[in-house]
Chains A and B, each alone.
Chain A
Amino acid sequence: GENVEQHPSTLSVQEGDSAVIKCTYSDSASNYFPWYKQELGKRPQLIIDIRSNVGEKKDQRIAVTLNKTAKHFSLHITETQPEDSAVYFCAARGAGNMLTFGGGTRLMVKP
């Protein structure tokens, strides 16, 4: 089955700096890669996603890049703000429509 690795597990940045979270996946048939943000005590919520026929997607301060050849994708957050502090999960959808998640990254933005 699919295996998704996510790094780093924790990330601390200064407000205004950029943050980058990286994921790799194993199943070359995976074709959909969402990113979720989970605040403490809340459910995960989608912040951005990318499909396998696209190399990059941007939404305001958030961008995702996908390298299908290397089987990795990354989340980039620019001009970080304290409210960006949360746990972020990457995921990959592969065979049978299974959605497999990475282990999560705890992002802390220091004011």
Chain B
Amino acid sequence: DAGITQSPRHKVTETGTPVTLRCHQTENHRYMYWYRQDPGHGLRLIHYSYGVKDTDKGEVSDGYSVSRSKTEDFLLTLESATSSQTSVYFCAISGGQANTEAFFGQGTRLTVV
């Protein structure tokens, strides 16, 4: 498996609290992505990064922010968690060429109560 680790793996938090999920890679890959997975919706892109400090929005970015201060780490922050953000979050990485495989992390199950 590619060197990609998500933390935490599980988290329960209260509505209105900030939450940060971490994605760490050891592959030195340029591209990193955050997806959420919900029943009936597949994998929806939240944000992605194409380099250090270079990020862009995906299709469901409202309520989320990201940061990438170094190649190996991509952080996803929920500024004020809501119940609609209860989901499984996956990080993915891919290499420097446009067509290389994307590898997924193990996922983080987030529950907002």
Interface residues of A (CB under 8 A from B): 1, 6, 31-32, 34, 43-46, 49, 51, 89, 91, 93, 96-104
- B99 touching A103 by the CB < 8 A rule? no
Chain B 93-113 interface mask (CB, 8 Å, partner A; 1/0): 010001101111111000000
B54 smallest CB distance to A (angstroms): 10
Interface residues of B (CB under 8 A from A): 31, 33, 35, 40-45, 48, 50, 56, 58-59, 90, 92, 94, 98-99, 101-107
- B92 touching A99 by the CB < 8 A rule? yes
Residue of A whose beta carbon sits closest to that of B109: A41
A-B CB contact pairs (8 Å), 30 listed: A1-B59, A6-B42, A32-B98, A32-B99, A34-B102, A43-B107, A44-B43, A44-B104, A45-B104, A49-B99, A89-B42, A89-B43, A91-B43, A91-B102, A93-B98, A96-B50, A96-B56, A97-B50, A97-B98, A98-B48, A98-B56, A99-B33, A99-B92, A99-B94, A100-B45, A100-B59, A101-B42, A101-B43, A102-B42, A104-B42
Interface residues of A, dominant DSSP: strand
A96 smallest CB distance to B (angstroms): 6
A49 to B100, CA, bound (A): 9
B80 smallest CB distance to A (angstroms): 26
User: A-B pairs with CB below 8 Å: how many?
Assistant: 59
B15 smallest CB distance to A (angstroms): 26
A69 to B71, CA, bound (A): 37
A31-B98, A31-B99, A97-B98 given; A103·B104 CB < 8 A? no
Residue of A whose beta carbon sits closest to that of B41: A103
- A98 touching B101 by the CB < 8 A rule? no
By a CB distance below 8 angstroms, the chain B residues around A93 are 98-99
Residue from the list B42, B48, B98, B105 in contact with A43, Cβ < 8 A = B105
By a CB distance below 8 angstroms, the chain B residues around A32 are 98-99
- A98 touching B58 by the CB < 8 A rule? yes
A2 smallest CB distance to B (angstroms): 9
